[in-house]
Structures are given as C-alpha cells and as structure tokens.
Amino acid sequence: MPTGKGRHINEAIGKSILIFSDGACSGNPGPGGWGAIVVTPEGTVRELGGSERGTTNNRMELTGAIMALRAIEDLRPGAVDFYTDSTYVIRGITQWIWGWRKRDWKNAEGEAVLNRDLWEALSRAVSAREKKSKVNWHYVRGHRGTPGNERCDEIAVEFSKNKWVELYCGPLIKYSVPIYDLPEDEPLPEMKPKAEKVKPYSYLSFVHGEVWRHSDWPSCERRVKGQTNAKFKKAMSPADEKSILTEWNVPSSTVIHEKK
C-alpha cells in the first residue's frame, strides 16, 4: 500500500475518523452530485453519494459534508479529520457562521445568507459530533492527485450526470483507493476581492411546454424541481433571454409568463 506524498500511512491510520467530501454541478445552477468517503479507526470504508437535479455547486459541497458527518453520528468518540477542497465550506463553518448568526443570517452586505438551510444542517451535524470529539478541517487542493479527493470528485461528477455509481462499503484492506495518501496541511488560499455583482435580468423555466420568467432563482427552482424534462436558465440581459428562447424554440412574444 502506498505511503503517500505527505503523512505516512502508519502515522494516520487508526488515530481518527478520516473523511473526504466533494460536490459537483453542471450549469450552476444545474444537475448536481456529491460524494464522500468515511474511514473508521477500526479499518472500515464507506463511500457515499447522491444527486439533485436543480442545484448549485456550493449546495452540493455542503450536502457532501453534511451527509458524511451524519454517517458517523453513532460512531464512538474520536477525533475527525475532514478533508475538502471547498474553501466555501471550511470558511463558512469555521469563520463566517458566527457573524451570520449575530446578524440574524445576514451577510456583511446585509443580504440574506445563501443556503441557510444547509448551513444550519451542517452546524447541527458538527455540533453533534463535537459533543464526542473535535472535527478538524483540512483544505486539500482539488485535482492535484490526492486519492481521496479524486475519488469523491469522481463520485460527485458521475451522480451529477445521473449515472449509476458502485459505492464501496467494506474493509480498508480491500479498498482500491490509497485513501491514506494524504497531503501536507496547508493554509486556505487568500480570498480574491469580490467582483461587483451583476444582477441577472431574469430566470427562465420551461415546464410542460410553458415558459415562465422569474425574478429570482428560488422561484424558478421551485417550479422545475421534480419535474421531468424541465429546463431552466439564467438570462443576464433581454438579448440573452431572447437567445435562450430561440435555443428552446419558443416564441418570446406569446409564451413568457411573469411569475410574481
């Protein structure tokens, strides 16, 4: 078994619960998937994964983390080493969430925090685990060859494509992924200055042959969620909207309905 580029396997195995998680999305918003791997000190491995048709990459990153922590709810006390390439998840759960709560779930700009439902679910999962032992968050750079991260990415991407994925559950000794090939710890990358937000002109949903125009993503999401063959897209301008309708072969003059 490989000893890894960073920490030697014998220094890590059996000392803590090891978790990797990742999320993927096509379109953002669009069809998404998440994947996670949980390794216990006793030497068992469990892969997890799932999908959602209308979602975002950040929601899938959060879902992967939540589902992984829920999977260890009943395990004995012991530290958790959690690896993810999502700076959004790590900064949110270790830094930003305290300010959001003080401001009644508003961000620094006074806007409602996106994905509040998942942040609250993640916070509950972390709090439940930390009654037993600490959760240590580790940043791992994506697509740099870290086996656990690469496997989670593979699971998430396949689920986002609505493909069947064989998820492993069994002894570590038979697991084909060198999961303890761990990277050296490194700090989170510096945050980039925020670009000025450009508000979308509209969100379009196409369900059962009828197009609606929405002023925000949540109302569009509600309409397409669970609907077979539904289409949805964000338009940044009237011309962009017209182009989308042309792509969908829908005349703009007759079938667009305002959704208030």
Annotated catalytic, 258?
no
Q: Which residues pair with 55 in a beta bridge?
A: 30
Which one of the listed residues 47, 52, 61, 241 is annotated catalytic? 61
Annotated catalytic, 153?
yes
CA distance 251 to 257: 12
Closest CA to 81 of 7, 148, 20, 151: 20
Annotated catalytic, 216?
no
The continuous run of DSSP H or E covering 159 comes out as helix 147-160
CA distance 94 to 137: 8
Annotated catalytic, 120?
no
Angle formed by the axes of helices 57-70 and 116-130, nearest 10°: 20
The CA radius of gyration of the chain, in Å to the nearest whole number, is: 21
Which one of the listed residues 85, 158, 181, 241 is annotated catalytic? 85
Which one of the listed residues 47, 153, 181, 221 is annotated catalytic? 153
CA distance 246 to 242: 6
Annotated catalytic, 143?
yes
Which one of the listed residues 143, 190, 196, 226 is annotated catalytic? 143
Annotated catalytic, 240?
no
Q: Which residues pair with 171 in a beta bridge?
A: 44
Q: How many CB atoms lie within 10 A of CB 74?
A: 6
Which one of the listed residues 23, 33, 35, 148 is annotated catalytic? 23
Dihedral sign for Cα atoms in the order 236, 240, 242, 244: negative
Straight-line distance from the first to the last Cα atom of the chain, in angstroms, rounded to the nearest whole number: 59
The phi-psi region of residue 14 (left if phi > 0; otherwise alpha if psi is between -120 and 50; otherwise beta) is: left
Q: 22 in helix, strand or coil?
A: strand
Which one of the listed residues 4, 22, 52, 81 is annotated catalytic? 22
Query: Catalytic positions, please?
Result: 22-23, 61, 85, 143, 153
